[in-house]
Structure 1
Amino acid sequence: MITGLIFSIHILFILIIFTKKWQDENLSTAFLNVGLIVILFSVGWTITGMIAKAIIEPEGLGIEFNRDTFSLVLLTIAEFFFYRFYYSEDFISNDKERQSPQSD
């Protein structure tokens, strides 16, 4: 269940970034960003899987939280901070754009 939730969050994030980049820039930039996210997910899951293998037993902490789920949680936490930095300018709007000019 946790694994399905993490995959769903990643798919939703890919769709949001794809749409945002397609609207703001162009279609090729949107596909490049999707490729970046997929590659980082694949490589990151491999690295966190090695870390999880060194730390936790294959059974993990229960039926729903095994070693693979633990590595996906580690990956999601690391990706959160990376993407928050990488895509910060796309989701922070300038306050000056929202305010209408005041006339005296």
Structure 2
Amino acid sequence: MRTAYWTIIGLASIGLGGGCAMHHASKRDLLTQANVSLIEAVRIAEANVTNAKTVEAELEREDGRTVYEVEMIDSTQRKRTVHIDAASGKVMKMD
């Protein structure tokens, strides 16, 4: 379980550190608007999808809101995506 979280943190770090300066600044701005951490968002997503493992998580802007998009694989090998409001921690939608 710990390995999965460190992998996610690594993926998030790559996403925040890569790209052009403007992209980097915009990701930093998103982080300042998030009251929920990446790890908290992953825990919320995993609590809402039974028997699923997180494979990727990203902080992004969606419909004017700062959200975490958490991608998971469930026990039937189906890809699931959970969108979590980064300010409140509430699940916005699940695909």
TM-score, normalised via structure 1 length: 0.36
Which has more strand, going by share of residues?
Answer: 2
TM-score, normalised via structure 2 length: 0.39
Which has more helix, going by share of residues?
Answer: 1
